[in-house]
Amino acid sequence: MTKSPMTFSEYDTKQLIEYLPEALFLEDFDGNILDVNAETCELLGYSREELLNQDIDKIVPENRPVFLPNQIDEATRSGKPIETVNLHSNGTKIPVELRGKIIDVEGEKRILVSVRDIIERRNREEKLRQFKMAVQGSNDLMAAVDSQYRYLFANEAYKNLYGLKNEEIPGRSVEELVGKDTFKQEVKPNVDKCLAGQTVEYETTRRHPELGERDLRLIYYPLGDEGEIHGVVKVMRDVTARKQAEKELKKNEERLELALEGTKAGLWDWKVQTGEVVFDERWAGIIGYTLEELRPVTIETWKDLTHREDLERAQEQLEKHFNGETETYESEIRMKHKNGGWVWVLDQGRVVEWNDDGDPVRMVGTHQDITDRREVEEELQEERDKLRKLHDAVDKLQRQNTEGDVTDAAVEVAETMLDFEFCAIMFSDGNRLFPQANSDHMDSEKAPEFKVGEGIAGKTVETGETIWGEDVRKYEEAKPTEEDFRAFISVPIGGIGTLVVVSKEIASFDEEDVELAEILAGHLQEEIKRVRLEEELRQEAIRDPLTGLYNRRYFNETLKKEVGKAKRYSAPIAFLMIDVNRFKEINDRYSHQTGDRVLKEVAKLLKQNVREADSVIRYGGDEFLIMLPETDGETSNTVSRLRKKMEEWNEGSDLLDFPLTLAIGSAHWSPMEGGDAEGALKEADNKMYQDKER
């Protein structure tokens, strides 16, 4: 059943357009714009008068739907608005979302269309896409959640935790996956803190469908841009093994306590004033000795076996206890083991006897081996440092704007943040691999070019796989640029090239180093793609798509800079305004396709016959402009050369059955002679038309 359009008076319609807080168009069914509000003008950069009675196709790119009133109305009814692109007055393409309603205005069918700028949403979607690519293969469990507690993305490891290997997760609520109680009591409060700007860290447990109960360490990072937080990134790491190690350590400590109570193992008894000390076999066994091997023993035995740095700190703690500042003495120290290594020991005790002057006479205490606990703590700290360094590295890469800046930053990141000794980045160009960036202390002149498949770097690009080894001298295909290079890692950067890190020490890299290099290469690949896309978009904005010449927008921006330079250096600027004679006749007689070929041929001829410093611009239609900075204002030689080259082109081309000629007008502007550059442009234009009439 077809619904009748809503009926409005002309007054009601104007009020509706004026006061609704989003961009609105009122259009007839022929695509004419009848009315707009201030929000529309602000969005598109036009005045209301410029938009009224214009065809809607003036603000829609050629490859986009122009006017679809019924489709817009139907899409709005179905809750699926149309996404398209509108053109700003300056030529910028604005992604928009259209909703509309067919209405009756005093007996005439009209469509009222709302236009919503969705560029911020598109940017968020692109950042989320990059995040997905970066974390998909990570062993860590990673997901992104929006402010409504619904998943934006989760990697495979995260899905596996909830048994979702073959299911999609975006759009599902967090509560649905983790359960109502867990969501209410644990997840939601921490997500809310993160949405308020905090980075949240905590540990919890989850049941894995295959592995059972798992201990997890969670970090929530705010997700947003330009100060606006619109979601949360969750990073979860399985720390079950660490927890089990900690529990085992606790059991060992409990057993030690029982042993101390029953057998007095690990005891020391020190006569402070004389230096005499008694150790038991447990005390000696912690550092790999029997008591007999250590005799004779005094307090100097303990001092000699204790690490110099820790001894100083332990003696400070002893003085505090002797002075009554602490009830007990406690210090964690490293002691030299018989095997040459270091054992971490928790050294605890208290004074049990004082003399009449208040000096310590006798002190007793225990030694406990805490090596396992310290190693776990150091591992945890290394994990934190790794996450922080990776975060800082990604942030630094994302702040760069050119390929050179990105690769230089990646080399700096590899050295200063990830602690690699030498780093080089090579890009591939077809079958060739050439240096792009390398460490400052590497000789860049020695950096050779390779063929893809040649050397370790070339093999990396050819296979797309990481190659690493403990000593480059063991690899026949290796071609090191320095004789003292040893351990190496060569990582592919997608299809872009390779990242190589090198050390002068044999076997100095492990699997964690390889993982770091691969993560860096992955982020480097994404940032190179980003800056290349940005440069491509920038070129599209300043180039004429038909001829590849600069467009008028570029000229207007460049003219200001050239005028400034001319004033600083007192150097004239010359202008040549050029028009293709009989161009309308070419289009009418031959076709517009032939006309396009003529324009491209003229553009090519002009570009090839001016200086590199000169700018050739497609000024509009069949008109071209050449700006010649830093000249003496003399252009006759250039004009003669262009006319001669045009004659040569006519002799060698059968595109037309009559000679192609150019109307050329020249003028120059000098900061010493007064006037302005715009006046010189008008003069060149007038002379061009005079030449055309001859």
- Note whether 112 and 223 are same-domain residues: no
Q: How many domains does the chain have?
A: 5
So what's the pLDDT on residue 247?
84
- Note whether 465 and 495 are same-domain residues: yes
Q: Give the mean pLDDT of 245-250.
A: 80
CATH code (residue 669): 3.30.70.270
Q: Let me know if residue 1 belongs to a domain.
A: no
d(CA 140, CA 238): 8
Last residue of a domain, one of 186, 217, 238: 238
Q: Give the mean pLDDT of 94-118.
A: 82
Q: Let me know if residue 374 belongs to a domain.
A: no
CATH code (residue 349): 3.30.450.20
- Note whether 390 and 491 are same-domain residues: yes
Residue 4 has pLDDT above 70, yes or no: no
Q: How many CB atoms lie within 10 A of CB 376?
A: 18
- Note whether 301 and 249 are same-domain residues: yes
Last residue of a domain, one of 323, 345, 369: 369
So what's the pLDDT on residue 78?
73
- Give me the sheet containing 623-628, strands edge to edge: 615-620, 623-628, 573-580, 662-669
| CB proximity list for 417: less than 8 A, separation 6 or greater | 389, 392, 393, 396
Residue 187 has pLDDT above 50, yes or no: yes
Name the least confident of 58-72, 315-329, 632-646, 648-662: 58-72
Give the highest mean pLDDT range of 18-27, 30-39, 184-193: 184-193
Name the least confident of 4-18, 64-78, 164-178, 186-200: 4-18
Query: Which position has the higher pLDDT, 159 or 653?
Result: 653
Residue 1 has pLDDT above 50, yes or no: no
d(CA 415, CA 570): 47
Instruction: State what percent of residues in the chain have pLDDT above 90.
Output: 30
- Note whether 183 and 277 are same-domain residues: no
> Could you tell me the pTM of the whole model?
0.41
Q: Let me know if residue 451 belongs to a domain.
A: yes
Name the least confident of 95-109, 112-126, 481-495, 548-562: 112-126
pLDDT tens per residue across span 490-514: 999 988 899 988 888 888 888 888 8
Q: Let me know if residue 173 belongs to a domain.
A: yes
Query: Which position has the higher pLDDT, 16 or 240?
Result: 240
So what's the pLDDT on residue 264?
46
Residue 385 has pLDDT above 90, yes or no: no
Q: Which two tokens stand for residue 282?
A: 């447990």
Last residue of a domain, one of 307, 338, 369: 369
Give the highest mean pLDDT range of 78-82, 92-96, 117-121, 600-604: 600-604
pLDDT tens per residue across span 308-334: 999 999 999 999 999 999 999 999 999
Q: Let me know if residue 544 belongs to a domain.
A: no
Q: Let me know if residue 460 belongs to a domain.
A: yes
- Note whether 186 and 270 are same-domain residues: no
d(CA 179, CA 161): 13
- Note whether 226 and 270 are same-domain residues: no
So what's the pLDDT on residue 474?
85
Q: Let me know if residue 411 belongs to a domain.
A: yes
d(CA 583, CA 590): 10
- Note whether 409 and 514 are same-domain residues: yes
H runs (alpha helix) in 336-445: 371-398, 403-412
User: 49-87 burial, b for 16+ CB within 10 Å, e for fewer?
Assistant: eebeeeebeebbeeeeeebbbeebbebbeeeebbebebb
- Note whether 276 and 168 are same-domain residues: no
So what's the pLDDT on residue 263?
45
- Note whether 141 and 227 are same-domain residues: yes
pLDDT tens per residue across span 400-448: 888 888 888 888 877 876 677 788 888 988 888 888 888 876 555 556 6
Q: In the predicted model, what is the mean pLDDT of the chain?
A: 84
- Note whether 460 and 608 are same-domain residues: no
Q: Let me know if residue 514 belongs to a domain.
A: yes
- Note whether 661 and 577 are same-domain residues: yes
CA distances from 107 to 103, 128, 221, 231 (A): 9, 48, 56, 48
pLDDT tens per residue across span 261-288: 554 457 899 999 999 999 988 889 999 9
Q: Determine the structural domain holding residue 346 and report its residue range.
A: 244-369
Residue 221 has pLDDT above 90, yes or no: no
Residue 557 has pLDDT above 90, yes or no: no
CATH code (residue 478): 3.30.450.40
So what's the pLDDT on residue 475?
82
Residue 548 has pLDDT above 80, yes or no: yes
